[in-house]
Amino acid sequence: MEKEFDIIVIGSGVSGMGTASSLASAGKQVAIIEEDLWGGTCPNRGCDPKKVLVSAVEAKDHIQQLQGKGINTVPKVNWPELMAFKETFTSPVPKRSKESLESAGVKTFTGKAEFIDEHRLKVNENELKAEQFVIAAGARPSILDIEGKEHFLTSNDFLSLPEMPETITLVGGGYIAFEFAAIANAAGAKVHVIQHNDRPLKAFDRELVDLLMEQLKSKGVTFHLNIEVSKIEKTSIGYSLMDDSNFQLNTDLVFCTTGRIPNTDVLKLENAGVEYDKKGITVNEFLQTSNPAIFAIGDILSKSQPKLTPVCSYEASYVVSYLTRKETASISYPSIPTMVFSGPKLAQIGVVIDESNDDYELSTIDATKWFSYHRTNEPISKVKVITDKRTGLLVGAACLNNEADELINYFSQLIEKKVSGSEVAKHIFAYPTIASDLSSLYS
Ligand SMILES: Cc1cc2nc3c(=O)[nH]c(=O)nc-3n(C[C@H](O)[C@H](O)[C@H](O)COP(=O)(O)OP(=O)(O)OC[C@H]3O[C@@H](n4cnc5c(N)ncnc54)[C@H](O)[C@@H]3O)c2cc1C
Ligand SMILES: NC(=O)c1ccc[n+]([C@@H]2O[C@H](COP(=O)([O-])OP(=O)(O)OC[C@H]3O[C@@H](n4cnc5c(N)ncnc54)[C@H](O)[C@@H]3O)[C@@H](O)[C@H]2O)c1
């Protein structure tokens, strides 16, 4: 049966949900298609469930740090209970997301979308037609193509793991590995992280990554650098991982955390004249694909910006403004904060440099003994601020401590609003708080 709409959105994650609802509110006839969990990655198997599990890491770290300083026992993480708590957040998401779209006037279809031609899509037995399309079909975990790859689990499995085994191994040392390593370690597992070169979390400040690794090592996480796993063998008690020389590691479970691949292969994009490369769909500065009636946003894009939830929301909001003619200028991104919710947390925004140069001044501040961090006896707090030598304004920052997820957003405001150090000094912040340290960090 053929159905016709003004705009069809493919994928109901952060990118697709916001786009579809806002376009419907603007008076467009909108349909949205989802083949799996309504609401997509972030609330079902990404940021949100992950951060619920991180709560246990935070609680345990906090208490562990205060041993002999007023607290005398370290609690144990009860994994099944923590998972049940996580479920209270995730299980309502698909139904609630679909209902919210429908109440906004969006027509929902469950099934896999495939382009038939430039204006038509096939979804199960339906043929859907539209003038314009927004592709927001996201990405999925990549699986290394090695012998025994069928034994790999993914981030989706980790976030629903019924029991935490004695040993887990994460192959690939990126965001997911550093976050899951902290979670599994807090839950009592022996954790191994295997990285094929010597630069885990490559986009982050190297010194801070090294310090984060030291912290994780001190809690019992083992890092194996410059190891390229080439084979996984099932054994009577678990799995054995091997490389092409002498490396061998036994583990109860093994997760592939080597990145995510865009869902470009399942959409039959060639039928609609939409071009893509291995990083995703290529778009111009209006988020328009090689077919001008088809737009793409979110994790499915081939882009230099990080693939993160707030970036998806930003692109969704831009494409809605563009399609409703409220915006005709090209998209321009602000500085984007990036965060690793490990233990401790690592955050970064803007310019990243290893040392001062002709343009930028780098200040590295050891804030471990500052009141804000010392009162909870944090093992480390390091902050780097980068200022433009010409204007004196903040252009970048990186931090490693338990409060980095809040601190980085203050830096983001200062950078985006071009607030000078002397202006910060004129603010009165509640004391003692992380914000009240700002004038000492950036003056
Ligand atoms: C474990 C994990 C933790 C993360 N933590 C954070 C974090 O802390 N902070 C942060 O900012 N970001 C985080 N991210 C990244 C963030 O989740 C993503 O950037 C974001 O969710 C992407 O949204 P999206 O809408 O582009 O894609 P998705 O949410 O993936 O939505 C795409 C949807 O399209 C559907 N789809 C695909 N193909 C088709 C088809 N042919 N037909 C119909 N439907 C289709 C999919 O089923 C999916 O539901 C995390 C990611 C992971 C995996
Ligand atoms: N806090 C957050 O914002 C957050 C958290 C989790 C995920 N994410 C998003 O999800 C994406 C995927 O996360 P990810 O951690 O899977 O990917 P990633 O790209 O962050 O890291 C992958 C890591 O695997 C390494 N690697 C690649 N091939 C390998 C091999 N053969 N053997 C060993 N190591 C190998 C890479 O060098 C890299 O260090 C992120 O890029 C990010 O966009 C964000």
ipTM of the complex: 0.99
Per the omega criterion (within 30 degrees of 0), is the bond before 92 cis? Answer: no
Tell me: is residue 175 an annotated ligand-binding position.
yes
The token duo for 217 is 């090592």
Check residue 310 and give its pLDDT. Answer: 98
Residue 11, ligand 1, Cβ within 6 A: yes
Q: What is the average pLDDT across 217-234?
A: 98
* Nearest Cα to Cα of residue 98 among 88, 113, 109: 109
Q: Does domain 344-441 have CATH number 3.30.390.30?
A: yes
Mutation to probe ligand 1, out of 36, 37, 42 (largest number of atoms < 8 A from CB): 42
Residue 84 scores a pLDDT above 70 = yes
String of b and e for 220-256 (b: at least 16 CB within 10 Å)? ebebbeebebeebeeeeebbbbbbeeeeebebbbbbb
Q: What is the mean pLDDT of the chain?
A: 97
Residue 326 scores a pLDDT above 90 = no
Protein residue closest via CA to atom 51 of ligand 1: 46
Check residue 3 and give its pLDDT. Answer: 87
Tell me: is residue 239 an annotated ligand-binding position.
no
Q: What is the average pLDDT across 66-90?
A: 96
Check residue 209 and give its pLDDT. Answer: 98
Check residue 107 and give its pLDDT. Answer: 98
What's the CA gap between 294 and 272, in Å, rounded? 9
The rounded Å distance from CA 398 to ligand 1 centre is: 26
Tell me: is residue 51 an annotated ligand-binding position.
yes
Alpha-helical segments (H) within 91-196: 93-103, 155-158, 175-186
Domain spans of the chain?
3-140+261-324, 149-258, 344-441
* Nearest Cα to Cα of residue 331 among 353, 346, 347, 316: 316
Q: What is the average pLDDT across 293-308?
A: 98
The number of angstroms, rounded, from the C-alpha of 85 to the middle of its chain's C-alpha atoms is 21
Its pTM stands at 0.98
String of b and e for 141-152 (b: at least 16 CB within 10 Å)? bbebebebeebb
Of all residues in the chain, the percent with pLDDT exceeding 90 is: 97
Residue 176, ligand 1, Cβ within 6 A: yes
Task: Tell me, yes or no, if the two domains 3-140+261-324 and 149-258 fold the same way.
Answer: yes
What's the CA gap between 307 and 265, in Å, rounded? 18
Query: For residues 153, 157, 163 and 168, what is the CA-based torsion angle, rounded to 10 degrees?
Result: 40
Please, is 317 exposed, middle or buried when counting C-beta atoms within 10 Å of its C-beta (0-12, 13-18, 19+)? middle
The rounded Å distance from CA 114 to ligand 2 centre is: 28
Q: Residue 170 in contact with residue 190, Cβ under 8 Å?
A: no
Instruction: Please state the atom number of ligand 2 nearest to the C-alpha of residue 308.
Output: 43
The rounded Å distance from CA 284 to ligand 1 centre is: 22
Q: How confident is the model at residue 55 (pLDDT cuts 50, 70, 90)?
A: very high
Residue 1 scores a pLDDT above 70 = no
196 backbone φψ class: left, alpha, beta (φ>0; ψ -120 to 50): alpha
Residue 350 scores a pLDDT above 90 = yes
Range with the poorest average pLDDT among 7-11, 31-35, 423-427: 423-427
Closest ligand relative to 145 C-alpha: 2
Protein residue closest via CA to atom 34 of ligand 2: 172
What's the CA gap between 58 and 186, in Å, rounded? 9
The rounded Å distance from CA 279 to ligand 2 centre is: 13
The rounded Å distance from CA 362 to ligand 1 centre is: 35
CATH code at 149-258: 3.50.50.60
What's the CA gap between 84 and 352, in Å, rounded? 40
The contacts of residue 30 (CB under 8 Å, 6+ apart) are 5, 6, 7, 8, 9, 20, 23, 24, 105, 106, 107
Q: Residue 264 in contact with residue 270, Cβ under 8 Å?
A: no
Q: What is the average pLDDT across 154-166?
A: 98
Length, in residues, of the chain: 443
Residue 114 scores a pLDDT above 90 = yes
Class of domain 3-140+261-324: alpha beta
Instruction: Please state the atom number of ligand 2 nearest to the C-alpha of residue 309.
Output: 3
Of all residues in the chain, the percent with pLDDT exceeding 70 is: 100
Q: What is the average pLDDT across 366-383?
A: 97
Neighbours of 344 (CB within 10 A): 27
Residue 12, ligand 1, Cβ within 6 A: yes
Closest ligand relative to 16 C-alpha: 1
Mutation to probe ligand 1, out of 12, 35, 41 (largest number of atoms < 8 A from CB): 41
Q: Tell me, what amino acid is at 262?
A: P
Residue 48, ligand 1, Cβ within 6 A: no
The label of the residue with tokens 């950036």 reads 442
> pLDDT digits over 200-212, tens only?
999 999 999 999 9
